[in-house]
Amino acid sequence: MISLIKQLFGSKTDLEMILKNGAVILDVRTKNEYDAGHIQHSRHVPLDIIRQQLNQLKKLNKPIITVCRSGSRSAIAKSLLQNAGIEAYNGGSWITFKNKYGIK
């Protein structure tokens, strides 16, 4: 029953704790978007080439928090990563994520 409720309404994931424990922030926006501003020390892999980078991302052996402009592309990226067996979370908008967790 609890898993059904989580599927219907989602569950709160403690992204701050995941981040503090060494998660990688993966920005999946285009190069131009990333170059215009991004979270310091984030990795940049545009969504359109993420499938080609799955093996490299697996080798990181860390949880990945995906971000983009609005949260749509990061949700797709999260699903692709999870389907490849990578622990992944959708961080949503990079700017909102950055401000919420006080990162540069």
Class of domain 14-101: alpha beta
pTM: 0.87
pLDDT exceeds cutoff 60 at 10: no
Mean pLDDT of 19-34: 97
Report domain extents, the chain.
Answer: 14-101
Report whether pLDDT(7) > 80.
no
pLDDT in tens, 64-97: 999 999 999 999 999 999 999 999 999 999 999 9
Mean pLDDT (the chain, rounded):
90
Contacts 24+ apart (CB under 8 A), 91-95: 91/15, 91/25, 91/65, 91/66, 91/67, 92/67, 92/68, 93/67, 93/68, 93/69, 94/27, 94/29, 94/38, 94/39, 94/42, 94/67, 94/68, 94/69, 95/37
Range from 12-16, 21-25, 53-57, 92-96 carrying the lowest mean pLDDT: 12-16
